[in-house]
Amino acid sequence: MGEDTDATPTLNHHGFLPDHNYVTEADIISTVEFNHTGELLATGDKGGRVVIFQREPESKSDPFSQGEYNVYSTFQSHEPEFDYLKSLEIEEKINKIRWLPQQNAAHFLLSTNDKTIKLWKVSERDKRPEGYNLKDEEGRIKDISTVTSLQVPVLKPMDLMVEVSPRRVFANAHTYHINSISVNSDYETYMSADDLRINLWHLDITDRSFNIVDIKPANMEDLTEVITAAEFHPHHCNLFVYSSSKGTLRLCDMREAALCDKHSKLFEEPEDPCARSFFSEIISSVSDVKFSHSGRYLLTRDYLTAKVWDLNMESKPLETYQVHDYLRSKLCSLYENDCIFDKFECAWNGSDSVIMTGAYNNFFRMFDRNTKRDVTLEASRESSKPRAVLKPRRVCAAGGKRRKDDISVDSLDFTKKILHTAWHPNENIIAIAATNNLYIFQDKLNSEMH
Amino acid sequence: MFPKGTKRKFSDAGEEAVGGGGGDQGPSAASSSSSSAAAAAARTLTSSYSLQRQSLLDMSLIKLQLCHMLVEPNLCRSVLIANTVRQIQEEMTQDGTWQIMTQALAAAQCPADRLVATEVLCRQTDPAAQAGQSPKPFSVSGVEEGYHSEEVVMDGDVETEVTMSSLSPASPHASSASYLAGPFGMRPCWEEEDDDDEEEEGDCEEDEEEDSEECASEGEEAEQDHLRADSRTGEQVFGTFEIKHPAPPPDPALDELFSDVDPSYYDLDTVLTGMQSAPKMGPYDLLESLSSHGPTALSSSSSCRSDLNELDHIMEIIVGS
């Protein structure tokens, strides 16, 4: 894994950070997702907006401008709503974006807030018809008496225009908050998961969905576990996995039954009795689950670790990576300020050899599964000038031996958390969302995956 | 999240006793060597552990109560906090701390007296309504801990704490254990409110054998006598707590803290079940709760008085009188 990573210029998502670091709530990025080719990168924010970046084609003349991402389109995906029955607001925050595989010139993506999923079509228009017979250049109806000959309208090039239009709205299917959506490998169906239920949709049908998982207890007093994330298998359209707040993963097969409450496989690591504390359950709650590109492994993130599971081994994870174990002694404070409930996401690289996840203080971590090496990097304006190589960071225990540039645990900024990260499907390009800023890092030295 | 005036009782290093250092660090783990049973025993006797556990319990209850009700609160977070509360409660039950606490609080209850916590948690405008006010045990202890932690610590309450946990009451465990029944700990804030007494008893029965006796409010006189017998212990334990007679001057910081919170939050039932009589509804399954819940328990016109009725009702269940 190359450690030398160039930093492309920071792409400021919306607005800018004044000196006193005030951040507009609406600008906080809430999801990041590359499309299947990596040409497009979509981000969603708390204000319900989606911004799509497109990678510029590499220019041979200027080697440094190759492959930069620029804004392609911005649109308002979701608006705040009000649930009159419950007298509660429905946030417009985009929880997840998932791209559909491209099948024609247009791009399609699904975006969801807490309650409603929308299918958006993103298409380009770079030609317009000219030479109408009945209308003049400004569109006014011509006086027929002035028309002496007929002409065939021709398509003339125009400035590129990106049009985004909502094609489907999938609403009213979730009582609880949607946390995940996942497109099936059959490219016809997708699933949406909330805290207690998972529904299966057909992309063309908006007024119906099938409930495939329901863990709501008959008596809500007995509720002790919720669904935290769900994903379809990348190749087997009948398999999907969902994670729970108790740290379990359930692999379900839709061929077995219509309602997949009964799992095919249950992945759970037995609890270490010595490490048991009041916070054991909370830190075991899985915040994200991702299939590897091969479909052979699962990557999960809980509060302190990232784990790789083999689909064939349910008893324990294959590999466990400590993301920020120095927080283990601080769990009570983190519980007090609610940081212990932060949901970090995780990501595979294209070849499934490296995993990545975010942490606090705008740090993010990468673990090479083969070499067992890991690195901590920081996404911040100060530390990443354009074209600069990111410097590895280190967190040392309070009072421990400190090298230059090390940061002590007590100096970590817990308001700067990197919850959302994404990795280009083929190349060593990563997108990091740090509050309201999007950072895109490219590994110029090792652009191919190994 | 502590109310004003709380002194943090432990540093992060000391948190390992509660936070569970990775097995090879922290005082509790060190003393327990490799046996988890020994660890449990060691933890029970450590007064700092009890303090930390109590503080964690208070924190969790406050978190459950103060849900921001503009948007539906995070169900995952609520479930995890409620599970933590349940876990603490179970451990305190095993220690015997739980029944001591509830007994002592019930014994300390007196019509004319009013604990500060009640004042805070049930913001009263009607002085007449304040008489006959019964405190809510778990929240009382919680806020008491918060407000009077200095007194608790400085008055050598460390020993008192130890006394608490080591005191196995001579009274039968059976009726004490049933204190666990009832709304607290078993009725997290996303539930539908059950105003029906039978339903509450039914819920209790799920958990403890003696519940039905408790919830059915039978043997009232016997319970009162039993409680009075323990009142001396309770007074010893809670002697350092401030017991106020009529209204203390309102604390501006507290008012500020609770100023933008709907007063019906203070209703124990509301808090635990997430239901409010005001238009703003709690989260989770409100559709169902709408149909099953009627304004039956809230008979009085003012919300404060209705809160009191609710409190009395809950106290009866918990105290068993």
Q: Give the closest residue to B137 by CA, choosing from B94, B168, B181.
A: B181
B16–chain A nearest CA distance, Å: 6
- Note whether B19 contacts A: Cβ–Cβ < 8 A: yes
Residues of A in contact with B53 (CB under 8 A): 278
A222–chain B nearest CA distance, Å: 8
- Note whether B62 contacts A: Cβ–Cβ < 8 A: no
Give B 110-169 residues with CB within 8 A of chain A. none
Is it the case that residue A332 has pLDDT exceeding 90? Answer: yes
pLDDT in tens, A368-403: 999 999 999 999 887 666 667 788 888 887 666 677
Using CA atoms, how far residue B253 sits from A74, A96, A373, B256, in Å, is: 45, 40, 51, 5
pLDDT of residue A197: 97
Is it the case that residue A15 has pLDDT exceeding 60? Answer: no
Nearest chain B residue (CA) to A304: B22
B247–chain A nearest CA distance, Å: 31
Q: Is B16 helix (H, G, I), strand (E, B) or coil?
A: helix
pLDDT higher at A273 or A123? A123
φ/ψ region of B131 (left if φ > 0, alpha if ψ in -120 to 50, else beta) reads beta
pLDDT in tens, A217-268: 999 999 999 999 999 999 999 999 999 999 999 999 999 988 888 889 999 9
Using CA atoms, how far residue B270 sits from B118, B254, B282, B298, in Å, is: 15, 20, 9, 11
**Is A275 within 8 Å of B79 when comparing Cβ atoms?**
no
Q: Is A163 helix (H, G, I), strand (E, B) or coil?
A: strand
A309–chain B nearest CA distance, Å: 22
pLDDT of residue A242: 97
**Is A275 within 8 Å of B18 when comparing Cβ atoms?**
no
Burial label, A416 (beta-carbon count in 10 A; 0-12, 13-18, 19+) = middle
- Note whether B25 contacts A: Cβ–Cβ < 8 A: yes
pLDDT of residue B201: 39
Residues 6+ apart with CB under 8 A from A127: A155, A156, A157, A158
Q: What H or E segment, with its residue span, contains residue A439?
A: strand A437-442
- Note whether B286 contacts A: Cβ–Cβ < 8 A: yes
CB-closest option in A89, A196, A273 to B71? A89
d(CA B150, CA B4): 12
Residues of B in contact with A273 (CB under 8 A): 36
pLDDT in tens, A409-449: 999 999 999 999 999 999 999 999 999 999 999 886 655 45
Using CA atoms, how far residue A112 sits from A84, A91, A188, in Å, is: 20, 11, 18
**Is A328 within 8 Å of B19 when comparing Cβ atoms?**
yes
Helices within chain B (DSSP H only): 16-19, 27-32, 36-45, 47-65, 75-95, 97-108, 116-121, 127-130, 137-147, 149-154, 157-166, 173-177, 197-207, 211-215, 220-229, 231-238, 252-259, 268-273, 286-292, 303-319
Amino acid at B133: Q
Averaged pLDDT, A117-134: 92
pLDDT of residue A137: 77
**Is A221 within 8 Å of B191 when comparing Cβ atoms?**
yes
**Is A228 within 8 Å of B287 when comparing Cβ atoms?**
no
Residues of A in contact with B36 (CB under 8 A): 273-274, 276
pLDDT of residue B48: 87
Can you say whether the dihedral through the CA atoms of B178, B316, B185, B164 is positive or negative? negative
**Is B80 within 8 Å of A281 when comparing Cβ atoms?**
yes
Q: Is A87 helix (H, G, I), strand (E, B) or coil?
A: coil
Which residue in B28, B83, B186, B201 has the most chain A C-beta atoms within 10 A of its own C-beta, making it the best mutation to test that interface? B83
Nearest chain B residue (CA) to A247: B80
d(CA B68, CA B120): 19
**Is B53 within 8 Å of A278 when comparing Cβ atoms?**
yes
Nearest chain A residue (CA) to B62: A336
Q: Give the closest residue to B53 by CA, choosing from B36, B67, B40.
A: B40
Q: Report percent pLDDT > 90 for chain A.
A: 71
d(CA A50, CA A165): 12
pLDDT higher at B126 or A180? A180
**Is B20 within 8 Å of A85 when comparing Cβ atoms?**
no
Residues of A in contact with B285 (CB under 8 A): 175, 220
CB-closest option in B56, B192, B287 to A332? B56
Which residue in A82, A222, A274 has the most chain B C-beta atoms within 10 A of its own C-beta, making it the best mutation to test that interface? A274
pLDDT of residue A379: 92
- Phi first, then psi: what are they for A96, rounded to 5°? -150, 150
d(CA A85, CA B287): 8
Is it the case that residue A57 has pLDDT exceeding 70? Answer: yes
Residues of B in contact with A279 (CB under 8 A): 19-20, 84
Burial label, A18 (beta-carbon count in 10 A; 0-12, 13-18, 19+) = exposed
Give B 178-197 residues with CB within 8 A of chain A. 186-188, 190-192
**Is B279 within 8 Å of A87 when comparing Cβ atoms?**
yes
CB A204 within 8 A of CB A198: no
Which residue in B1, B12, B205 has the most chain A C-beta atoms within 10 A of its own C-beta, making it the best mutation to test that interface? B12
Q: What H or E segment, with its residue span, contains residue A156?
A: strand A154-170
Residue-level pLDDT, tens digit, chain B, 321 residues: 444 454 444 444 444 444 444 434 444 444 444 455 555 555 555 788 888 899 999 999 999 887 656 677 899 999 999 999 999 999 998 888 778 777 776 777 654 444 433 333 333 334 433 343 333 334 333 333 333 333 333 333 334 333 333 333 333 333 333 333 333 334 444 544 334 444 333 343 344 444 444 333 444 444 444 434 444 433 333 333 333 344 445 555 555 554 454 444 444 434 444 443 333 444 444 334 433 443 443 333 445 566 667 777 777 776 665
Is it the case that residue A38 has pLDDT exceeding 70? Answer: yes
Residues of A in contact with B56 (CB under 8 A): 278, 332, 335
Which residue in A25, A220, A337 has the most chain B C-beta atoms within 10 A of its own C-beta, making it the best mutation to test that interface? A220
Which residue in B66, B78, B79, B289 has the most chain A C-beta atoms within 10 A of its own C-beta, making it the best mutation to test that interface? B79
- Note whether B36 contacts A: Cβ–Cβ < 8 A: yes
Q: What is the ipTM of this complex?
A: 0.89
A306–chain B nearest CA distance, Å: 17
Q: Give the closest residue to A198 by CA, choosing from A163, A153, A228, A235.
A: A228
Which residue in A215, A332, A336, A414 has the most chain B C-beta atoms within 10 A of its own C-beta, making it the best mutation to test that interface? A332
pLDDT of residue A404: 74
- Phi first, then psi: what are they for A140, rounded to 5°? -80, 150
pLDDT in tens, A199-216: 999 999 999 999 999 999
Give B 201-240 residues with CB within 8 A of chain A. 203
B232–chain A nearest CA distance, Å: 32
- State the pTM of this model: 0.67
